[in-house]
């Protein structure tokens, strides 16, 4: 096959020895099967921003750190340099998440190197050694759906324990390998502690899993695992072996409105006093 332009430098540098063929082309990247020595791997070639249909929403960028203020200003203004920095930050987010999660025991493809917009990583295979199918391409029994749903909930928990939320998890970015599900596509992954929308993203990821597996096991649709997982995380009680119930206790006690109003009034008075002290100090 014709060698893709972005893969030529990897061939020249000996990082890969052969491009076997194209595996898939998605909204943000094209993935190729390549050979590196005796190993078959995949190379994810990120598309330029103008070629992508997926937009880097501000909600995903929230909490991501840049190296210096010049880069931050350029990204905010949308200059050419700023757009370049934004692209690097976007691609690095997936690489960082993959290394972080692989080290935490999360089932993701093992990353090897990322250079010039190409991510070289493990090729996930099925029991026959062929490319593992996406979850949405597999027929499931009720028992298998319940099993896989439980396995993936544990992976979501492990990710959160490592401080990461996938942010776009669904049956389309989970591969069914020979030894179980593997989570892929992480450029939109967010830091659970730094991103203000991490909680809603986590719940959406879990709801997506419930909606898919609920087609085969309808009892999953009545669960509330996302809310439960985040509540445990916020309370500092989440760990990789946590037992989840899928049920959330709703506080039905009436709100003590007088106490709430009193607390608000005390807060207002404290703020007024603080402002007066500052004014007095400034006048002095």
Quick one: tokens of 138? Answer: 């597999």
d(CA 117, CA 115): 6
Whole-number pLDDT of residue 7? 96
Alpha carbon separation from 250 to 137, 228, 284 (Å, rounded) = 37, 11, 53
Please report the pLDDT score of residue 275 as a whole number: 83
Q: What mean pLDDT comes out for the span 33-62?
A: 74
| Per-residue pLDDT at 277 exceeds 90 | no
The pTM score is: 0.76
- 34 has pLDDT over 90: yes
Whether 55 shows a pLDDT value over 90: the answer reads no
How much is the average pLDDT of 83-107? Answer: 81
Query: What are 99-139's pLDDT values in tens digits?
Result: 999 999 999 999 999 988 899 999 999 999 999 999 999 99
Task: Compute the distance between CA of residue 92 and CA of residue 98 in angstroms, rounded to an integer.
Answer: 10
- On whether the CB atoms of residues 153 and 141 are closer than 8 A, the answer is no
Task: Find the mean pLDDT for residues 10-37.
Answer: 94
Neighbouring CB atoms inside 10 A of 53's CB total: 8
**The predicted structure's pLDDT at residue 66:** 47
Q: What would the pLDDT profile of 195-209 be if each residue is shown by its tens digit? A: 999 999 999 999 999
Nearest one of 225, 218, 229, 175 to 24, comparing CA atoms: 175
Mean of pLDDT over the chain: 86
- pLDDT, mean of residues 229-257: 84
Question: What confidence score (pLDDT) does residue 87 get?
Answer: 65
């Amino acid at each position: 096959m014709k060698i893709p332009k972005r893969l030529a430098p990897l061939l020249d540098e000996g990082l890969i020895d052969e491009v076997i063929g194209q595996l898939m082309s998605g909204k943000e990247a094209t993935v190729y099967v390549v050979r590196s020595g005796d190993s078959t791997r995949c190379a994810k070639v990120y598309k330029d921003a103008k070629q992508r249909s997926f937009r880097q929403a501000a909600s995903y960028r929230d909490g991501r750190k840049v190296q210096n203020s010049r880069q931050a200003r350029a990204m905010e203004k949308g200059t050419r340099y700023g757009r370049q920095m934004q692209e690097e930050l976007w691609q690095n987010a997936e690489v960082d998440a993959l290394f972080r999660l692989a080290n935490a025991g999360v089932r993701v493809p093992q990353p090897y190197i990322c250079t010039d917009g190409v991510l070289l990583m493990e090729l996930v295979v099925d029991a026959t050694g062929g490319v593992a199918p996406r979850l949405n391409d597999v027929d499931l029994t009720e028992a298998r759906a319940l099993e896989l749903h439980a396995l993936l909930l544990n992976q979501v928990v492990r990710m959160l324990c490592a401080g990461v939320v996938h942010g776009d998890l669904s049956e389309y970015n989970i591969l069914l390998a020979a030894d179980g599900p593997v989570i892929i596509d992480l450029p939109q992954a967010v830091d659970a502690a730094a991103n203000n929308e991490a909680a809603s993203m986590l719940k959406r990821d879990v709801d997506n899993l419930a909606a898919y597996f609920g087609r085969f096991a309808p009892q999953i649709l009545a669960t509330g695992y996302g809310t439960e997982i985040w509540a445990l995380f916020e309370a500092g009680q989440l760990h990789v072996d946590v037992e989840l119930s899928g049920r959330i206790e709703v506080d039905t006690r009436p709100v003590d409105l007088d106490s709430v109003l009193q607390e608000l009034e005390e807060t207002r008075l404290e703020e007024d006093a603080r402002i007066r002290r500052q004014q007095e100090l400034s006048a002095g």
